[in-house]
Amino acid sequence: MSNQRIQTPCVGLCSTVYGDLVCRGCKRFHQEVVNWNAYRDEEKRAVWRRLETLLAQVMAAKVDVFDADLLRRQLESRQIRFVAEQSPYCWAYQLIARGSRVIQQIEAYGVVVLPEFRQWSLPQLRDAIDREFFLLSEAHYERYMAPRFLAPRADRFA
SS3 per residue for 30-62: HHHHHHHHHCCHHHHHHHHHHHHHHHHHHHHCC
Rounded mean pLDDT of 134-157? 75
- Asked whether residue 158 is assigned to any structural domain, the reply reads no
- Asked whether residue 150 is assigned to any structural domain, the reply reads no
Residue 72 has pLDDT above 50, yes or no: yes
Domain containing 89 equals 16-140
Length of the chain: 158
- Asked whether residue 31 is assigned to any structural domain, the reply reads yes
Average pLDDT of the residues of the chain: 88
Q: What Å distances lie between residue 108 and 43, 79, 104, 105, 134, CA to CA?
A: 37, 16, 9, 6, 28
pLDDT more than 90, % of the chain: 69
Integer Cα distance of 57 and 74 in angstroms: 22
- Asked whether residue 106 is assigned to any structural domain, the reply reads yes
Residue 6 has pLDDT above 80, yes or no: no
Per-residue pLDDT, 146: 76
pLDDT in tens, 7-62: 778 777 777 777 778 888 899 998 898 889 999 999 999 999 999 999 999 999 99
**Pair 94, 44: CB distance under 8 Å:** no
Integer Cα distance of 29 and 143 in angstroms: 13
H/E segment holding residue 99: helix 88-99
- Asked whether residue 147 is assigned to any structural domain, the reply reads no
- Asked whether residue 112 is assigned to any structural domain, the reply reads yes
Per-residue pLDDT, 19: 75
Integer Cα distance of 8 and 91 in angstroms: 16
- Asked whether residue 87 is assigned to any structural domain, the reply reads yes
- Asked whether residue 115 is assigned to any structural domain, the reply reads yes
Per-residue pLDDT, 5: 57
Total structural domains within the chain: 1
Q: Which of 63-72, 105-114, 124-133, 140-149 has the lowest mean pLDDT?
A: 140-149
Higher pLDDT residue, 47 or 152?
47
